[in-house]
Each structure stands twice: as C-alpha cells, then as structure tokens.
C-alpha cells in the first residue's frame, strides 16, 4: 500500500512487463477496475482503526497500449495494515514510484 520508506504516494502498474516494456492490458479478459471498485474492495477489508487508504485508478496510454495504474496516496494514518489475516496469504507486493513524474 502506501507503506514505503520514502513516505510518498505509490502505485501498481498493470500492463507492463518486469523489464519495463509496455504490453498493455486492453485485451485482457479480466475485469478492469475503476476507482469506485477499488474503494469498495478496500472497504470490505479489516484495516486497523478502520483507516482505509485513499486511492485513484488511472488508465495511461503509452505506445498504443493501455496500462491501468491504481495510485495509493500516503496519509496521516500510514502505515496501513490489516488487523487480522485475510485470504490465503499475508504477503503484499508494493511497487513504489514517484507519481510526480507520471
């Protein structure tokens, strides 16, 4: 989430490969989520203190491809964490980037 050492906003990028090349997500069969979908998903999770991170979903076009980029904003209640286990795993993955360059 927004729990990063740089204390800045962070995002996940869907539609890019590990080497940084853009493959796009426009032809996926999976649902593409909007900001409201992500907020609804997060509201159903047991965040400590009930503090849910602020998020926005963006679609960026690059080299004739689309990438979906949910941005997770840092806030006064970071770090955000769940007060009990959720799902089959407790591992989360975070890609931290400087959103000012987007």
pLDDT per residue as tens digits for the range 34-89: 999 999 988 888 888 888 989 999 999 988 999 999 998 988 888 888 877 655 55
Token code pair at residue 25: 């997500």
11-22 in b/e form (b: 16+ CB < 10 A) is bbbbbbeeeeeb
Q: Parse the chain into domains and list their residue ranges.
A: 10-101
Contact 94, 2 (CB under 8 A): no
Give the contacts of 1 (CB within 8 A, at least 6 positions apart): 10, 53, 72, 78, 79, 80, 92, 94
pLDDT tens, position by position, 2-25: 567 777 888 888 999 989 889 999
d(CA 87, CA 68): 24
Q: What is the pLDDT of residue 95?
A: 38
Q: What is the pTM of this model?
A: 0.68
Smallest CA-to-CA distance from 43 within 54, 33, 34 is with 54
């Amino acid at each position: 989430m927004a729990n990063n050492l740089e204390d800045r906003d962070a995002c996940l990028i869907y539609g890019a490969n590990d080497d940084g090349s853009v493959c796009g997500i426009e032809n996926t069969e999976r649902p593409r989520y909007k900001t409201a979908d992500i907020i609804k998903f997060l509201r159903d999770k047991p965040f400590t203190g009930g503090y849910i991170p602020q998020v926005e979903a963006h679609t960026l076009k690059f080299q004739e491809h689309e990438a979906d980029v949910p941005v997770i904003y840092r806030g006064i209640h970071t770090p955000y964490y769940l007060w009990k286990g959720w799902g089959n795993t407790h591992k989360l993955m975070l890609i931290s980037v400087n959103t000012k360059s987007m």
